[in-house]
Structures are given as structure tokens and as C-alpha cells.
Chain A
């Protein structure tokens, strides 16, 4: 399995994402410059956190038109997994690959702390290694993580089990319905404000982010490399990724 981590001018969690994939999975992972036109040969794409283009105009608004985003869109539409973390989530909503938008935090503070989130579904290629209802500790670091979707969109998200993570305890940014992460209807594009890549080693204060990467590998193995331990829980995930490889 091969991972691509997209690097925009202003990305600052790209190296963390590369190291997390390498450390947790030990698979090939390349940092891909935003001017690159093709992601052929990559099985999973990570859009990392940071401040692409200085958050000018709106967070993610300019990054979504970078040349590499055409390839990311193609990758997503082919059913292959795309994980957007923090600024990556903002970029994916701006690009229309995920519904809704991320507004400035309700209290206007930049929050940098470890929060508790609950895994709401494991029927995704990103969360199959978690239990539903499992509470995990992940870092957040953002000023614009206040997820907004209108009532109709929110109803859609609930009806199709697209809310993947919710904040537990204090809502750190004012997100509607305490949403910390969502998937698209096809379940192969995940956007989340918390940083799983910063929670993969005890020295970082938590290892609870590692199963995100493990889930991706197990899902991929279940599809293309024979049985794996997550096969039973990966039924929904299979159809989500079925278009991944012709």
C-alpha cells in the first residue's frame, strides 16, 4: 500500500503525517508537492493540517484550486480513500468533496489541546479498527474548526451515518451537533479537525490516532491482499472502496 501526503505552501503537519504512516504502518509514503498533476500509483491520500496559502480569503479557499487537487478529486471519485486533517478538512469542504463548511471557533480562541472524541461509526475505511462508542484522545489545534451545515445537510449526514467523530465534554469550537469529523456519502473521503497523526506515540500524549492508519491498511489488505483481521467489520468499507482499483 502506498500513501501520498499533499504538501501545500503553508502546510505544517505534512511531516507529522508522513512519519505517522511510516511509524504505524511501515509502508511507502511520499510527500507530494502541490504542483503535481498526478497521484497515479497511490492508494491513499492525506491532506495534512496547516495554513495553506496563509488561510487567505477563507481557510482552504485557494488551496482547492492547486493543480494537485484535480488529481485528489479524481482519486476520490474513483472511490479511493482521502483523509483530510484540520486544514485538510477545510480544503475538502471548500472543494465540495465534503458537505458543509468550517467557521471561526465560536469563542474566537485558537484551541491547542488534547480533547476526547467518540467514534460514532466504524463502517468507514478510516475507523474500522475502532469500536463504535469508543472514546479516544486526540490533539486539536485550530482557530476555524466550527463545523457548520444547514439543517437539511445535517439531516442527510445523520440519516446516512456520515458523522464519524463527535466531541465529548466541552465542545471546543461550537461545531453543530458536536461534529469533529464526517465522511462523504460514498464513505471514502473523511474530514476531521482532530489530529490522529499527532497521536501515534506515547511521547505525544496519546496513541489513539494510530487505528485511523491501521484501519486504512486493513481495509486495503481486505480488498486486495487476502484476508485480514478486520475483514468482518469491513463490509460497508468494502463497497466504499470497491471502485478503488480496476
Chain B
């Protein structure tokens, strides 16, 4: 079966995000001064094949834990969708 995983990797709360802070300042400069916080993260879309959804979920979790996120500073979440053959 074919699946698509949409993975979001974000910094854990408490880990400073200089990029997010710079975006807050840039938005304020452009008049969007109602923005009080920005946290920048990564979005990954991947396609995979697996025999069933449980297996696909296990494999994507393993990918996140091993490579895609660094558990020291980041957390991840993902949604899994079945794709047409």
C-alpha cells in the first residue's frame, strides 16, 4: 500500500528559537504587531510503501526518532494518509 506522511518537526518549548524571534520582529516592522510569538519548524512530506497502516506508522515513527528529529531539542508529529494505487 502507498502512504503519504506529513511530518512536522518543531523545537521543544523552552528551547530558544532565534529564527522565530527574528520573524516576530520582521512582522512587527511590517505592521503585524499583534503577533506575540513565532516558532519556526520543519515540514517534511514523504511517500512510502508498507503492507498496512500500522507498519507505516511504526516505520515513520522510527524515521523521526532516528534521523528526522533530534529528541534533545525537537519534537515531532505526523499524519499518515493512504494514497491511491
Chain A hits for B68, CB < 8 A: 57
Question: Given that A103-B16, A106-B18, A148-B15 are contacting pairs, would A94 and B73 also be in contact in the complex, using a CB cutoff of 8 Å?
Answer: no
In the complex, number of A-B residue pairs with CB atoms less than 8 Å apart: 38
Question: Is the C-beta of B22 less than 8 angstroms from some C-beta in chain A?
Answer: yes
Chain A 170-189 interface residues, beta-carbon cutoff 8 Å to B: 174
Q: Is the CB of B18 within 8 A of A148?
A: no
Interface string of A57-68 (1 = CB under 8 A from B): 110011001000
CB distance from B66 to the nearest CB of A (A): 8
Note all chain B residues with C-beta closer than 8 A to A65: 67
| Chain B residues within an 8 Å CB radius of A62 | 67
Query: Binding site of A, secondary structure by majority: helix, strand, loop or mixed?
Result: loop
Question: Please, what's the 1-or-0 string for B60-73, where 1 marks a CB less than 8 Å from any CB in chain A?
Answer: 00000001101011
Check B67 against A103 for contact (C-beta < 8 Å). no
Instruction: State how many residues of chain B have any CB contact under 8 Å with chain A.
Output: 11
**A150, CB-defined interface residue at 8 Å:** yes
- Chain B residue nearest to A105 (CB atoms) is B18
Q: Which residues of B contact A104 (CB under 8 A)?
A: 18-19
Query: Is B31 engaged at the interface, CB distance under 8 Å to the other chain?
Result: no
* Contact-residue size bin, chain A (C-beta under 8 Å from the other chain): 20 to 34
What CA separation (Å) do A93 and B70 show in the bound complex?
Answer: 10
Q: For residue B22, which residues in chain A have a CB less than 8 angstroms away from its CB?
A: 108
Contact with B along A125-140 (1 / 0, CB 8 A): 0000000000000000
Q: Are A103 and B18 in contact (CB under 8 A)?
A: yes
Establish whether residues A57 and B67, one from each chain, have CB atoms under 8 Å apart when the complex forms. yes
Given A57, A58, A108, A150, which contacts B19 in the complex, CB threshold below 8 Å? A108
Q: Which of B14, B16, B18, B67 is in CB contact (< 8 Å) with A150?
A: B14
Q: Fill in one digit per residue for A96-117: 1 if any B CB lies within 8 Å of its CB, else 0.
A: 0001110111111000000000
